[in-house]
Structure 1
């Protein structure tokens, strides 16, 4: 039996992923701020440390997979501290536990929002690992009425971090496939306020065109996450896999970058 950690497991994609992995015979340790096997606030340094300590204690220091799925939306600095710094800390702090597995796998939930307008300064601060400065920049963007840039910026940074880290000695060199998924609009509690009227649904559909079946349920990206942390995935490395109903194709055409 393989042991897999799933963050953001209380609802949405995380909850669906946990259920699929459990149904496939895995031992799953769910992590969230509430209603989870382990409770941790990934927006804080203390919470990230508590996560790593608790997982280590529960598993005798060995796990087989990490699904760094926890994320938030909105226009507050938590979007950056959770979506980027919390996700990266989850992966980095649990990586030593993966190294002890015969079939280690890691995946993070990014977003097709990485294709939308973002703030280059905020992205660079995230990739530099300067969380205090990133929070200051995020706060300034909100104060300037540009809070809508926080979410895509956090996901741009996350995708770039995966691309930069995955082929290096700490991941590929240690035999650990590291990848990301980029979902389109998923009907989760996080997204519910954005689509709770026909007008809002139409506006979001215009921003995120999904010609193949439209908005999706959490089970769709969850099945992809489950495969990416499964033993069958031996050679995907540093990929950002868009599961988005075609929004990537519509927005970028035949460009692969």
Structure 2
């Protein structure tokens, strides 16, 4: 893994109790950042903190439902309380509703509330801190379904398209203030969210076949893109939805 030179920096990661969020939290720590780990899954979040501390890093956990503005405000405040500042934020928390009727208003509302409104609430609070510091970097988790259509997941597709648009908005709004805002757009990745599908051999083979590289991606591969986008190596990159999909959207 690459060291992106984040010594002395502070990173916040939502949805860090497993999957891409945990991989990103560990990658930030390996590059020297102190990490505020957040999730609604307290057990998973604290396990991520333990993994970071086991590799010699610094981390703290804060429970947060990103669809609740008061909890988001408390989460960002916790990062500053524990570590003194906030330099990098990865707004990764999200849900999918593979087996649900996403035209049902309750299902639709929950997906939009977490996947899109949650990102907005996080960006708003993170930027407020970063503006007082003179800069920072924010990365949001979108999806390849934020760039292309999907006939079976209307709420997920709508929310992730919204994240891409919100990312571009933030990039333009805060460009002159030194805050860069980008997104990652993962393809089919092996995570706890996809685990029920991967457990079925025929489904695993189907998912592998959907990617030109012939396999599903790993959470660590997305995490590397996230940390790079937050590092000085990406100092002229903002408003960019970075695809990490093994070529799926190149077809």
Query: How high is the TM-score relative to the length of structure 1?
Result: 0.78
The residue number in structure 1 matching 2:67 is: 43
After superposition, give the CA deviation of every residue in 1:176-197 in whole Å (9 maximum; x if it has no partner). Answer: 1110010101100011123221
Structure 1 residue 194 and structure 2 residue 197: aligned?
A: yes
The residue number in structure 2 matching 1:65 is: 88
After superposition, give the CA deviation of every residue in 1:204-242 in whole Å (9 maximum; x if it has no partner). Answer: 456xx3112420110000000011111222111100010
The residue number in structure 2 matching 1:136 is: none
C-alpha contact 1:103 1:231 (8 A) present in aligned 2:
no
Give the drift of 1:147.
7.0
Q: 2:38 aligns with which of 31, 34, 41?
A: 31
Matches within 5 A, 1:98-247: 98-101=130-133, 104-117=136-149, 148-168=153-173, 171-205=174-208, 209-247=210-248
CA distance in 2, matches of 1:156, 1:205: 24
Structure 1 residue 80 and structure 2 residue 112: aligned?
A: yes
Give the drift of 1:202.
4.0
After superposition, give the CA deviation of every residue in 1:108-138 in whole Å (9 maximum; x if it has no partner). Answer: 11101123436xxxxxxxxxxxxxxxxxxxx
Q: How many residues align?
A: 218
After superposition, give the CA deviation of every residue in 1:78-129 in whole Å (9 maximum; x if it has no partner). Answer: 22211111111111111121124455111111101123436xxxxxxxxxxx
Unpaired stretches in structure 1, ≥5 consecutive residues: 119-145, 251-257
CA distance in 2, matches of 1:4, 1:63: 6
CA distance in 2, matches of 1:14, 1:231: 21
After superposition, give the CA deviation of every residue in 1:154-196 in whole Å (9 maximum; x if it has no partner). Answer: 100110111223122xx10211111001010110001112322
The residue number in structure 1 matching 2:51 is: none
Unpaired stretches in structure 2, ≥5 consecutive residues: 1-7, 46-60, 101-106
DSSP 3-state at the match of 2:124: helix
DSSP 3-state at the match of 1:238: coil
CA distance in 1, matches of 2:29, 2:9: 10
DSSP 3-state at the match of 1:70: coil
C-alpha contact 2:213 2:247 (8 A) present in aligned 1:
yes
C-alpha contact 1:3 1:63 (8 A) present in aligned 2:
yes
